[in-house]
Amino acid sequence: MTDEPKDHAPASTGPSRRDLLESALGAGAAVWAAGIAVPTGMYLWPAAASGPTKKYIEVDPASMPPGTGRVVSEGGKPVLLLRQKNGEFRALSAVCTHLGCIVHWNADQQQIQCPCHAGTFTPEGAVVSGPPPRPLASYPTQMVAGKLRITI
Amino acid sequence: MSLRARANGWFERRYPMRAIREGLAHQMHKLLPPHVSWLHTLGGLLLFLAAQQILTGILLMVYYRPTTEDAYESVRFLMLKASFGWLIRGLHAWGATLMIAVLVLHMLRVFIMGAYKRPRELTWVGGVLIFFTTLGFGFTGYLLPWNQLSYWATTVGTEVAASIPGIGRSLGVLMRGGEAVGQETLARFYTMHVVVLPWVLVFLMIMHIVMIRTQNLAPLEAVGEERPLDPRTAVSFAPQHTSRELVVFPLFFALMIAVVILFPPEIGVKADPTVTPEGIKPEWYFLPTYQLLKYLPKLLGLGLSAIPPLLLLLWPFLDRSRARRPSQRKLSVTIGLGALLLTVLLGLVGYLSESEITLFGKHIRFDMYGVPEVVPAGR
Amino acid sequence: MALFFALCAQTPAATTPNSCVACHAEIAKLEAGRAHAQAEIGCVACHGGDSAQAEKDAAHAASAGFSGKLGALATVELCGNCHADVARMNPYGLPTDQLAQYRTSRHGQGLFTDHDESGAICSSCHGAHGILGPKSSESPVHPTHVAQTCGKCHGDESLMTAHGLAATAPAAYAKSVHAQVLAKGDDSAPQCATCHGSHGAIPPGFGSVAAVCGKCHMREKELFQKSPHAPLVETGDFPGCIVCHSNHAIQPAEPRIFESVCGLCHGGTPEVLAKRDRIAGALNSSNELLAAREAELQAAAQHGLASDEDELFLDEARTGLKSARVLQHSLDPARVEEVTGEARGQLEALRLRLQKERDAQRWKRLALLPVVAFLILMSLGAWVRFRRLHSHA
């Protein structure tokens, strides 16, 4: 392995050239290792806050007087939030079970209505009339630190 | 005595470091037969790939959630939100495909060079078992993203197992954890993919490597005519053979990164057990079996498709000839290459079946048996 | 012998031997297990005669009140005997106003006033034997079969011509968006009876069209009633919804209707047409944007490059455009533009998000070059080392 062309070249260039190659390859390997380690570290660092863990909506209860309702949406799911006359909250899927239009709360008639084909639902989400085949799905709600949390 | 020497001595009395280091050095500098070539780097490449699959697999487990509710979303999340998640999933998905491709090439090299012959029959058998285990990885891993393709390919795949006479139904229920592919299936496949199969693979690989190291690589001379290695022509494992592997690894890694970026693995549409998409096909490495099963009545097909794996597994005990050089065992090599060609053809027909291609301006449609039919223009 | 067969062929509910079955086995088979058989309404209840008599002449004797096949008027009165009787229908929870409604229908008026027996009577729609309730999917009056049932007569050209009617409605309806939705399995989609009524079937009058359509399309009706066209309906100068949407062959509500219809009356008033162009333009261009984003998002989702937040943007835009389509009935371009503007905002935000994702893809490809170059360089270095290590051999 020490058989560099000694006769044709100064003895010193062989080993030095080899050393250069070895150290260049070593440095390359180090760069390679870093190129694997850095993305791995970045991958492991907790990703964006809006990750799959956040599956709830938070609403300030004071923003909704009793007897009102509004559509809130987070993470692709529109939710119809109702506040009953007795102050209790109820969260229902705002997607009409007929053709997927977004339903809204009719405060005068105390009913949920779908603007597309006259489907109406009770405040509990049951079908009163019209084409919807199924009641609206409901989501659990709870008070957490003064905020209403809807788990979706 | 220097502090370092004392520390070493303290450690040496408790852990035989020197013996291990000497054993390793002996293995590293072992001499290999002179015909060792670029083709012999395929085995090392497989070790490299297995390590990569295990590492990327561990990283994927950090974000993956094996539930029907979350599996698809978690894969989408790690691809989109986690930094470099796309790269890690891409390496894992492409790594699986490339690993099977390299495995086939490695087996082909061993077959053609007659390296499976006495006394290396068990090395071959172990290698074939590694191949089957890797196919098991492919089958179980394919379901985990829980998209339409994976769901229905698994439904079809487990259905094949369930149609084995006698035990089939029970086997199908056992694989699926129920009557249909669902949460239980996902949990079972996940457990197999991340716990059971990795241990089986590691065990088989250790056995394989131990056998190779103790018996050394097979020479080209016929069985019983092997000559002792001539130190002047022999190749050292390190640094000579490893220097060859070091040329191959970066190139292979570059290829892998390139396919991951240029052809990123899809994530598809989330699995929907109520909608069967058209043209469900398994992964490419299951296509030959899939196509074979179509041609034959189910029972016969199952029986027949069990023969090639058995032949492969038991080949060293069937081919008892002594010669190793391919030029001296034309029949054997012809059988092997013929079988490979047939497999590739079946796979190709399976790939084309139930699809349409445009060739020289003509639309050609293939039916489920792969029979082409020219579609008249304007349709 | 006949009695033996009769006993064997009896419906489970019948308790007395029924000799009719000996000859009318086919009809008995039809009735078996159906509502009237279950309620023990036997042959005699409608056709008279004596089912205890084994001989045909005795069973069909006029003295036993045998009436045989009933005429149209007799049929309607016969059905009404029970079905208009509150006391008899109460246990089954069935309504009793069908006959009263029928009298008000065109069919009933024909029968009772004009003594024309060629019009529809109860059995024309419900069948005579083996009658099923409208909730049974096999019933001829189940929503999915109504168009076919009405079409038996209303698609018969000679019959309709005789009554001075066109026979085109069933064929026109079959092409309508309503029929398509019904065929997709949405039983709530409108069929003939939804607009015309069933027992009291009558064409909606000139002024009541909006009311009929508004039963389901209530928002559209609300807006239309405040639009400039509404007063013209009152005065009888504008027939309402059907002007743009036609009556039976109702097509999906697409903005192209604007192009074909408005000009018919407003051809000479450029300011009205300008308004039309604004509304149609806002809707058309937004729909195109929506379709483009939908395709982009789908392609991105296939590659795992779209999140559910991206889908939310699309959902919101889609909902917005849906309400804009409804809002056009106000004929107020500003209101339509406001809503489509919001939807376009969502679509633009989505476009930017997808663009960002595509840019990231481009960066990945660019980054590939140096990475591959580095790895090839490493390989070349290793190659030099390999050559050197093998050169002595």
Out of B70, B83, B250, the one facing A42 most closely (by C-beta) is: B83
Put simply, the answer to whether B83 touches A52 (Cβ < 8 Å) is no
- Judged by a CB distance cut-off of 8 A, whether residue B75 touches chain C is yes
Mean per-residue pLDDT, B133-159:
93
- Judged by a CB distance cut-off of 8 A, whether residue A145 touches chain C is no
Distances (CA, A) of B79 to B73, B103, C118: 10, 28, 70
CB pairs under 8 A between A and C: 65
What is the structure's pLDDT at C255?
Answer: 72
Whether A145 is covered by a domain: the verdict is yes
A40-93 pLDDT, tens digit per residue, is 999 988 875 544 445 677 888 888 888 888 888 765 678 888 888 888 888 888
Q: For residue B378, name the pLDDT band (cuts at 50, 70, 90).
A: low
Q: Domain B33-220+227-353, what fold?
A: Cytochrome Bc1 Complex; Chain C (1.20.810)
Distance CA C313, CA B152 (A): 30
Whether A105 is covered by a domain: the verdict is yes
C224-273 pLDDT, tens digit per residue, is 888 888 888 888 788 888 888 888 888 777 777 888 888 888 888 888 88
Out of A25, A43, A48, the one facing B84 most closely (by C-beta) is: A43
Residues of A in contact with C379 (CB under 8 A): none
Residue C386 near residue B243 (C-beta atoms within 8 A): yes
Out of B141-145, B148-152, C37-41, C151-155, pick the least confident. Answer: C37-41
Say if residue A41 is in the same domain as residue A102.
no
Put simply, the answer to whether C303 touches B267 (Cβ < 8 Å) is yes
Put simply, the answer to whether A50 touches C309 (Cβ < 8 Å) is yes
Out of B116-120, B289-293, C360-364, pick the least confident. Answer: B289-293
Say if residue A20 is in the same domain as residue A91.
no
Q: For residue B167, name the pLDDT band (cuts at 50, 70, 90).
A: confident
Closest CA to C378 of A33, B201, A40, A144: A33
Interface of C with B in 262-301 (CB under 8 A): 301
- Mapping DSSP to helix (H, G, I), strand (E, B) and coil, where does residue A107 land? coil
Could you give phi then psi for residue C105, rounded to 5 degrees?
-75, 165
Peptide bond preceding B119 in cis form (omega within 30 of 0): yes
Enumerate neighbours of C (3 or more CB pairs within 8 A): A, B
Q: How would you class C357 by CB atoms within 10 Å of its CB: exposed for 0-12, middle for 13-18, buried for 19 or more?
A: middle
> How many Cβ atoms sit within 10 Å of the Cβ of residue B227?
8
- Judged by a CB distance cut-off of 8 A, whether residue B82 touches chain A is yes
Cα of B45 to nearest chain A Cα, Å: 17
Mean per-residue pLDDT, A7-30:
73
Mean pLDDT of chain A: 79
Say if residue A30 is in the same domain as residue A67.
no
Q: For residue B152, name the pLDDT band (cuts at 50, 70, 90).
A: very high
Put simply, the answer to whether B84 touches A52 (Cβ < 8 Å) is no
ipTM for the assembly: 0.89
Whether A87 is covered by a domain: the verdict is yes
Domain boundaries, chain B: 33-220+227-353
Here the tokens at position C189 are 């989609």
Closest CA to B316 of B324, B307, B328: B324
Residue bearing tokens 């999906």: C252
Residues of B in contact with A44 (CB under 8 A): 59, 62
Beta bridge partners of B365: B356, B373
- Judged by a CB distance cut-off of 8 A, whether residue C309 touches chain A is yes
Residue C222 is inside which H or E element, if any? helix C218-225
- DSSP code, position C136: S
Cα of B56 to nearest chain A Cα, Å: 9
Distance CA B219, CA B36 (A): 9
Mean pLDDT of chain B: 91
| 3-state DSSP of chain B | CCHHHHHHHHHHHHCCHHHHHHHHHHHHCCEECCCCCHHHHHHHHHHHHHHHHHHHHHHHHHHCCCCCCCHHHHHHHHHHCCCCHHHHHHHHHHHHHHHHHHHHHHHHHHHHCCCCCCCCHHHHHHHHHHHHHHHHHHHHHHHCCCEHHHHHHHHHHHHHHHCCCCCHHHHHHHHHCCCCCCHHHHHHHHHHHHHHHHHHHHHHHHHHHHHHHHHCCCCCCCCCCCCCCCCCCCEEHHHHHHHHHHHHHHHHHHHHHHHHHHCCCCCCCECCCCCCCCCCCCCHHHHHHHHHHHHCCHHHHHHHHCHHHHHHHHHHHHCCCCCCCHHHCHHHHHHHHHHHHHHHHHHHHHHHCCCEEEECCEEEEECCCCCEEEECCCC
Interface mutation target, options A117, A127, A128, chain C, most CBs of C under 10 Å:
A117
Mean per-residue pLDDT, B326-354:
91
What is the structure's pLDDT at B377?
Answer: 62
Q: Percentage of chain A surpassing pLDDT 90?
A: 14
What is the structure's pLDDT at A14?
Answer: 54
Residues near B45 by Cβ (< 8 Å), separated by ≥ 6? Answer: B102, B106, B245, B248, B249, B252
Strand order in the sheet with A127-129: A104-106, A111-113, A120-121, A127-129
- Judged by a CB distance cut-off of 8 A, whether residue A78 touches chain C is yes
Domain boundaries, chain C: 204-250, 270-390
Residue-range definition of the domain harbouring residue A104: 56-151
| CA C70 from centre of chain | 34
Say if residue A101 is in the same domain as residue A80.
yes
Residues of C in contact with A31 (CB under 8 A): 374
Here the tokens at position C270 are 């450029």
Residue type, B93: A
Here the tokens at position B136 are 């098991």
What is the structure's pLDDT at C58?
Answer: 84
Say if residue A61 is in the same domain as residue A116.
yes
Q: For residue C173, name the pLDDT band (cuts at 50, 70, 90).
A: very high
Closest CA to C372 of B116, B235, B262, A104: B262
What is the structure's pLDDT at C10?
Answer: 42
- pLDDT at B14 exceeding the cut of 90: yes
CB pairs under 8 A between B and C: 74
What is the structure's pLDDT at C206?
Answer: 60
Residue bearing tokens 């010193």: A12
Closest CA to A122 of A69, A63, A74: A69
- pLDDT at C3 exceeding the cut of 70: no
Out of B75, B233, B254, the one facing C372 most closely (by C-beta) is: B254
Could you list the beta-strand ranges (E) of C179-269.
Answer: none
Put simply, the answer to whether C371 touches B251 (Cβ < 8 Å) is no
Residue of C nearest to B145 (CA): C304
Closest CA to C297 of C345, C344, C347: C347
Out of C73-77, C97-101, C312-316, pick the least confident. Answer: C312-316
Q: Is B9 left (phi over 0), alpha (psi -120 to 50) or beta?
A: alpha
What is the structure's pLDDT at C42?
Answer: 84
Closest CA to B359 of B345, B341, B372, B343: B372
Residues of B in contact with C386 (CB under 8 A): 240, 243-244, 246-247
Residue C176 near residue C170 (C-beta atoms within 8 A): no
Mean per-residue pLDDT, C137-144:
88
Q: For residue A132, name the pLDDT band (cuts at 50, 70, 90).
A: confident
Distances (CA, A) of B75 to A11, A37, B65: 58, 21, 8
Here the tokens at position B11 are 């450690």
Out of A44, A45, A52, the one facing B70 most closely (by C-beta) is: A52
C55-72 pLDDT, tens digit per residue, is 888 888 888 888 888 888
CB pairs under 8 A between A and B: 37
Put simply, the answer to whether B86 touches C379 (Cβ < 8 Å) is no
Interface of A with C in 98-137 (CB under 8 A): 98, 101-102, 115-118, 130-133
What is the structure's pLDDT at C7?
Answer: 40
Say if residue A88 is in the same domain as residue A27.
no
Residues of C in contact with A25 (CB under 8 A): 378, 381-382, 385
CATH number of the domain that residue A63 is part of: 2.102.10.10
Q: How many domains does chain A have?
A: 2
Residue bearing tokens 């009896």: C10
